[in-house]
Protein backbone atom coordinates (compact mmCIF):
# COMPACT_ATOMS: atom_id res chain seq x y z
CA UNK A 1 0.00 0.00 0.00
CA UNK A 2 1.42 3.37 -1.05
CA UNK A 3 0.50 6.94 -0.12
CA UNK A 4 -0.06 8.92 -3.34
CA UNK A 5 -1.55 12.22 -2.13
CA UNK A 6 -2.60 13.98 1.03
CA UNK A 7 -4.58 17.04 2.07
CA UNK A 8 -5.72 18.62 5.32
CA UNK A 9 -8.61 16.16 5.72
CA UNK A 10 -7.76 13.20 3.50
CA UNK A 11 -4.99 10.84 2.43
CA UNK A 12 -5.16 8.69 -0.71
CA UNK A 13 -3.42 5.32 -0.94
CA UNK A 14 -2.83 3.00 -3.87
CA UNK A 15 -3.72 -0.56 -2.86
CA UNK A 16 -3.24 -2.89 -5.81
CA UNK A 17 -6.26 -2.38 -8.05
CA UNK A 18 -8.05 -0.39 -5.36
CA UNK A 19 -7.80 3.18 -4.18
CA UNK A 20 -8.25 3.78 -0.46
CA UNK A 21 -9.01 7.28 0.81
CA UNK A 22 -8.77 7.99 4.53
CA UNK A 23 -11.21 10.73 5.53
CA UNK A 24 -10.89 12.82 8.69
CA UNK A 25 -14.22 13.62 10.35
CA UNK A 26 -12.38 15.38 13.19
CA UNK A 27 -11.58 14.51 16.77
CA UNK A 28 -13.19 14.26 20.17
CA UNK A 29 -11.62 14.52 23.64
CA UNK A 30 -12.51 11.86 26.21
CA UNK A 31 -11.46 11.39 29.85
CA UNK A 32 -8.88 8.65 30.48
CA UNK A 33 -11.26 7.19 33.09
CA UNK A 34 -13.02 5.58 30.10
CA UNK A 35 -10.18 3.02 29.99
CA UNK A 36 -10.84 -0.20 31.90
CA UNK A 37 -8.65 -2.98 33.29
CA UNK A 38 -9.49 -6.69 33.13
CA UNK A 39 -11.75 -6.35 36.18
CA UNK A 40 -13.76 -3.59 34.54
CA UNK A 41 -12.34 -0.93 36.85
CA UNK A 42 -10.98 2.42 35.71
CA UNK A 43 -7.38 2.01 34.66
CA UNK A 44 -4.77 3.37 37.04
CA UNK A 45 -1.90 5.64 36.05
CA UNK A 46 -1.37 5.89 32.31
CA UNK A 47 2.01 5.09 30.74
CA UNK A 48 4.04 8.12 29.71
CA UNK A 49 3.64 7.09 26.05
CA UNK A 50 -0.08 7.93 26.17
CA UNK A 51 -0.45 11.64 25.37
CA UNK A 52 -3.08 13.83 27.02
CA UNK A 53 -4.47 17.12 25.79
CA UNK A 54 -5.28 18.98 28.96
CA UNK A 55 -6.49 16.07 31.05
CA UNK A 56 -8.14 14.21 28.17
CA UNK A 57 -7.41 11.59 25.55
CA UNK A 58 -7.79 12.95 22.02
CA UNK A 59 -9.48 10.43 19.73
CA UNK A 60 -9.25 10.90 15.99
CA UNK A 61 -12.47 10.05 14.12
CA UNK A 62 -11.91 8.62 10.63
CA UNK A 63 -13.95 7.17 7.79
CA UNK A 64 -12.64 5.34 4.71
CA UNK A 65 -13.63 5.33 1.04
CA UNK A 66 -12.55 2.37 -1.09
CA UNK A 67 -13.04 2.11 -4.85
CA UNK A 68 -11.95 0.06 -7.84
CA UNK A 69 -12.92 2.89 -10.18
CA UNK A 70 -16.38 1.46 -10.81
CA UNK A 71 -17.73 0.19 -7.50
CA UNK A 72 -17.08 1.93 -4.23
CA UNK A 73 -17.72 1.56 -0.52
CA UNK A 74 -17.78 4.25 2.17
CA UNK A 75 -16.94 2.78 5.58
CA UNK A 76 -18.51 4.90 8.35
CA UNK A 77 -19.85 8.41 7.92
CA UNK A 78 -18.74 10.54 10.85
CA UNK A 79 -20.88 12.50 13.28
CA UNK A 80 -22.53 15.12 11.06
CA UNK A 81 -23.80 17.75 13.54
CA UNK A 82 -25.16 15.49 16.28
CA UNK A 83 -22.37 16.13 18.80
CA UNK A 84 -22.49 19.91 18.34
CA UNK A 85 -18.69 19.93 18.42
CA UNK A 86 -16.80 22.25 16.04
CA UNK A 87 -14.03 19.65 15.84
CA UNK A 88 -16.37 17.03 14.31
CA UNK A 89 -18.57 16.58 11.25
CA UNK A 90 -15.88 17.25 8.64
CA UNK A 91 -16.35 14.11 6.52
CA UNK A 92 -18.30 15.93 3.80
CA UNK A 93 -15.52 18.48 3.47
CA UNK A 94 -13.00 15.63 3.43
CA UNK A 95 -14.85 13.93 0.56
CA UNK A 96 -14.91 17.20 -1.38
CA UNK A 97 -11.21 17.72 -0.76
CA UNK A 98 -10.51 14.19 -2.05
CA UNK A 99 -12.60 14.73 -5.18
CA UNK A 100 -15.29 12.18 -4.27
CA UNK A 101 -18.82 13.04 -5.39
CA UNK A 102 -21.26 12.19 -2.61
CA UNK A 103 -24.06 11.52 -5.10
CA UNK A 104 -22.06 8.63 -6.57
CA UNK A 105 -21.86 6.70 -3.29
CA UNK A 106 -24.29 3.77 -3.48
CA UNK A 107 -22.97 1.55 -0.67
CA UNK A 108 -22.15 2.57 2.89
CA UNK A 109 -20.79 0.13 5.48
CA UNK A 110 -21.32 1.08 9.13
CA UNK A 111 -19.04 -0.49 11.73
CA UNK A 112 -21.55 0.06 14.53
CA UNK A 113 -24.45 2.15 15.74
CA UNK A 114 -22.68 4.89 17.71
CA UNK A 115 -23.23 8.49 16.63
CA UNK A 116 -19.72 9.27 15.42
CA UNK A 117 -19.95 6.42 12.90
CA UNK A 118 -23.53 6.44 11.59
CA UNK A 119 -24.88 9.98 11.97
CA UNK A 120 -23.24 11.29 8.79
CA UNK A 121 -25.86 9.48 6.72
CA UNK A 122 -27.97 12.58 7.38
CA UNK A 123 -26.52 16.03 6.65
CA UNK A 124 -26.85 18.90 9.15
CA UNK A 125 -29.79 20.35 7.17
CA UNK A 126 -31.75 17.10 7.65
CA UNK A 127 -31.36 15.86 4.08
CA UNK A 128 -29.81 12.55 3.06
CA UNK A 129 -26.07 13.09 2.69
CA UNK A 130 -25.72 10.50 -0.09
CA UNK A 131 -28.50 10.95 -2.63
CA UNK A 132 -27.50 7.86 -4.65
CA UNK A 133 -27.52 5.59 -1.61
CA UNK A 134 -28.82 2.08 -2.33
CA UNK A 135 -27.55 -0.04 0.57
CA UNK A 136 -26.36 0.49 4.14
CA UNK A 137 -24.54 -2.51 5.58
CA UNK A 138 -24.59 -2.82 9.37
CA UNK A 139 -24.45 -5.61 11.96
CA UNK A 140 -27.89 -7.09 12.61
CA UNK A 141 -27.55 -6.33 16.32
CA UNK A 142 -27.27 -2.59 15.61
CA UNK A 143 -30.12 -2.00 13.16
CA UNK A 144 -32.28 -0.46 15.90
CA UNK A 145 -30.39 2.80 15.36
CA UNK A 146 -32.48 3.51 12.24
CA UNK A 147 -35.24 5.43 13.98
CA UNK A 148 -35.90 9.14 14.45
CA UNK A 149 -33.36 11.15 12.51
CA UNK A 150 -32.10 8.06 10.67
CA UNK A 151 -35.54 6.57 9.92
CA UNK A 152 -35.53 7.67 6.24
CA UNK A 153 -32.61 5.29 5.61
CA UNK A 154 -34.30 2.22 7.12
CA UNK A 155 -35.59 0.78 3.84
CA UNK A 156 -32.04 0.45 2.48
CA UNK A 157 -30.49 -1.26 5.51
CA UNK A 158 -28.82 -4.63 4.89
CA UNK A 159 -28.41 -6.44 8.26
CA UNK A 160 -25.17 -8.42 8.58
CA UNK A 161 -25.57 -11.55 10.71
CA UNK A 162 -22.59 -13.53 9.39
CA UNK A 163 -19.62 -13.12 7.11
CA UNK A 164 -21.02 -11.83 3.82
CA UNK A 165 -19.64 -10.50 0.53
CA UNK A 166 -20.54 -6.89 -0.28
CA UNK A 167 -18.93 -7.11 -3.71
CA UNK A 168 -16.13 -9.18 -5.21
CA UNK A 169 -13.44 -7.38 -3.17
CA UNK A 170 -15.18 -6.41 0.09
CA UNK A 171 -16.51 -8.62 2.88
CA UNK A 172 -18.39 -7.82 6.09
CA UNK A 173 -17.14 -9.75 9.15
CA UNK A 174 -19.07 -9.62 12.47
CA UNK A 175 -16.90 -8.69 15.47
CA UNK A 176 -19.40 -8.09 18.31
CA UNK A 177 -18.45 -6.83 21.74
CA UNK A 178 -18.23 -3.06 21.59
CA UNK A 179 -21.85 -3.23 20.40
CA UNK A 180 -23.93 -6.31 19.56
CA UNK A 181 -23.60 -5.58 15.84
CA UNK A 182 -20.01 -4.31 15.69
CA UNK A 183 -18.71 -5.31 12.25
CA UNK A 184 -15.38 -4.97 10.44
CA UNK A 185 -14.93 -4.77 6.68
CA UNK A 186 -12.14 -6.43 4.70
CA UNK A 187 -11.05 -5.12 1.29
CA UNK A 188 -8.90 -7.42 -0.85
CA UNK A 189 -6.59 -6.54 -3.72
CA UNK A 190 -3.44 -7.85 -5.40
CA UNK A 191 -1.51 -5.90 -2.73
CA UNK A 192 -3.07 -7.70 0.24
CA UNK A 193 -5.96 -7.22 2.63
CA UNK A 194 -7.14 -4.11 4.43
CA UNK A 195 -9.26 -4.57 7.55
CA UNK A 196 -11.35 -1.50 8.45
CA UNK A 197 -12.61 -1.48 12.02
CA UNK A 198 -14.62 0.90 14.16
CA UNK A 199 -14.12 0.82 17.93
CA UNK A 200 -11.79 -2.16 18.23
CA UNK A 201 -9.09 0.21 19.51
CA UNK A 202 -9.75 3.65 21.00
CA UNK A 203 -6.28 4.56 22.30
CA UNK A 204 -3.60 3.28 19.90
CA UNK A 205 -0.69 4.39 22.09
CA UNK A 206 -1.93 1.95 24.76
CA UNK A 207 -4.18 -0.82 23.43
CA UNK A 208 -1.75 -2.36 20.94
CA UNK A 209 0.89 -2.81 23.60
CA UNK A 210 -1.76 -3.80 26.18
CA UNK A 211 -4.69 -5.28 24.20
CA UNK A 212 -6.48 -6.48 27.34
CA UNK A 213 -7.33 -2.87 28.21
CA UNK A 214 -10.96 -2.16 27.32
CA UNK A 215 -13.20 0.91 27.06
CA UNK A 216 -16.02 1.95 29.36
CA UNK A 217 -18.45 2.13 26.43
CA UNK A 218 -17.74 -1.44 25.30
CA UNK A 219 -21.17 -3.01 25.78
CA UNK A 220 -19.61 -6.40 26.55
CA UNK A 221 -16.02 -5.84 27.62
CA UNK A 222 -15.10 -9.53 27.59
CA UNK A 223 -16.35 -10.01 24.02
CA UNK A 224 -14.75 -6.74 22.91
CA UNK A 225 -11.42 -7.92 24.33
CA UNK A 226 -11.75 -11.27 22.55
CA UNK A 227 -12.67 -9.61 19.25
CA UNK A 228 -9.65 -7.30 19.50
CA UNK A 229 -7.34 -10.25 20.20
CA UNK A 230 -8.65 -12.15 17.17
CA UNK A 231 -8.38 -9.17 14.84
CA UNK A 232 -4.90 -8.20 15.99
CA UNK A 233 -3.65 -11.74 15.44
CA UNK A 234 -5.26 -11.76 11.99
CA UNK A 235 -3.49 -8.51 11.12
CA UNK A 236 -0.03 -9.96 11.77
CA UNK A 237 -0.34 -12.08 8.61
CA UNK A 238 1.74 -11.00 5.60
CA UNK A 239 0.30 -8.20 3.45
CA UNK A 240 -2.43 -7.32 5.96
CA UNK A 241 -3.19 -3.71 6.90
CA UNK A 242 -5.60 -1.98 9.27
CA UNK A 243 -7.74 1.12 8.79
CA UNK A 244 -8.94 2.26 12.20
CA UNK A 245 -11.72 4.72 12.99
CA UNK A 246 -9.86 5.95 16.09
CA UNK A 247 -6.26 5.43 15.02
CA UNK A 248 -4.41 8.71 14.59
CA UNK A 249 -5.43 10.22 11.25
CA UNK A 250 -5.11 9.06 8.50
CA UNK A 251 -5.38 5.83 10.45
CA UNK A 252 -3.89 3.23 8.09
CA UNK A 253 -1.11 1.01 9.43
CA UNK A 254 0.61 -2.35 9.73
CA UNK A 255 0.49 -4.48 12.89
CA UNK A 256 3.33 -6.69 14.10
CA UNK A 257 3.81 -8.79 17.25
CA UNK A 258 5.82 -7.06 19.98
CA UNK A 259 6.49 -8.60 23.37
CA UNK A 260 3.18 -9.64 24.91
CA UNK A 261 1.29 -7.25 22.64
CA UNK A 262 1.62 -5.63 19.25
CA UNK A 263 3.32 -2.71 17.54
CA UNK A 264 1.67 -0.27 15.14
CA UNK A 265 3.46 1.19 12.13
CA UNK A 266 1.57 3.98 10.35
CA UNK A 267 1.87 4.11 6.57
CA UNK A 268 1.70 7.92 6.66
CA UNK A 269 2.73 10.23 9.51
CA UNK A 270 -0.27 10.78 11.81
CA UNK A 271 -1.78 14.17 12.46
CA UNK A 272 -3.24 13.21 15.84
Q: How far is 70 from 87, CA to CA, in rounded Å? A: 32
- Residue 272 reports pLDDT greater than 70: no
Share of the chain above pLDDT 70, in %: 100
Strand-pair partners of 41:
none
Q: Is 62 helix (H, G, I), strand (E, B) or coil?
A: strand
Average pLDDT for the chain: 96
pLDDT in tens, 24-69: 999 999 999 999 998 888 888 899 999 999 999 999 999 999 999 9
Burial of 146 (0-12, 13-18, 19+ CB in 10 A): buried
Instruction: State what percent of residues in the chain have pLDDT above 90.
Output: 94
Contact between 110 and 76 under an 8 Å Cβ cutoff? The reply is: yes
Cα–Cα distance for residue pair 102/105, rounded to 1 Å = 6
Q: Residues 220-242: what's their mean pLDDT?
A: 97
Whats the size of the chain, residue-wise? 272
Tens of pLDDT along 116-150?
999 999 999 999 999 999 999 999 999 999 999 99
Sign of CA dihedral 206, 60, 42, 218: negative
Q: Strand order of the sheet with strand 157-160?
A: 2-6, 10-15, 18-30, 57-67, 72-75, 107-109, 135-139, 157-160
From the number of C-beta atoms within 10 Å of its C-beta (0-12, 13-18, 19+), residue 188 rates as middle
Query: What is the structure's pLDDT at 126?
Result: 96
- Count of CB atoms situated within 10 Å of the CB of 49: 8
Please name which of 146, 144, 185, 181 lies closest in space to residue 164, comparing C-alpha atoms: 185
Instruction: Please report the DSSP string for 99-116 in residue order.
Output: T--GGG--EEE-S-SSHH
Q: Please compute the mean of the pLDDT values over residues 198-216 and round it to a whole number.
A: 97
Res 188: pLDDT = 98
- Provide the pLDDT confidence category of residue 84 given band limits of 50, 70 and 90: confident
Whether the upstream peptide bond of residue 250 has omega within 30° of 0, thus cis, is: yes
Nearest to 199 by CA among 55, 60, 33: 60
pTM: 0.97
Largest separation between any pair of C-alpha atoms in the chain? 49
Task: Say whether pLDDT at 256 is over 70.
Answer: yes
- What is the distance, to the nearest Å, from the Cα of residue 65 to the centroid of all Cα atoms in its chain? 11
Q: Rounded to whole angstroms, how far apart are CA atoms 254 and 267?
A: 7
Question: β-pairing, 183-189 with 10-15?
Answer: unpaired
pLDDT value at residue 187: 98
The pLDDT of residue 233 is: 97
Question: Are residues 94 and 25 in contact, defined by beta-carbon separation less than 8 angstroms?
Answer: yes
> Residue range 245-249: average pLDDT?
98
| 235 pLDDT more than 70 | yes
Q: Is residue 202 scored above 70 in pLDDT?
A: yes
Amino acid sequence: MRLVSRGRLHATFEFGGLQVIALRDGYIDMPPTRLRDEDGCALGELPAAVPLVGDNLRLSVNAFFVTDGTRSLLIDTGASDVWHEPTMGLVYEALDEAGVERAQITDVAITHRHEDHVSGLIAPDGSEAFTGLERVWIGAGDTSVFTGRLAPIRDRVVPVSGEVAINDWATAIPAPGHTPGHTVYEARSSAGRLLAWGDTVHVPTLQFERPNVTWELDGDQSRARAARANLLERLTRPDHFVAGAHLDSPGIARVTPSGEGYALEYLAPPTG
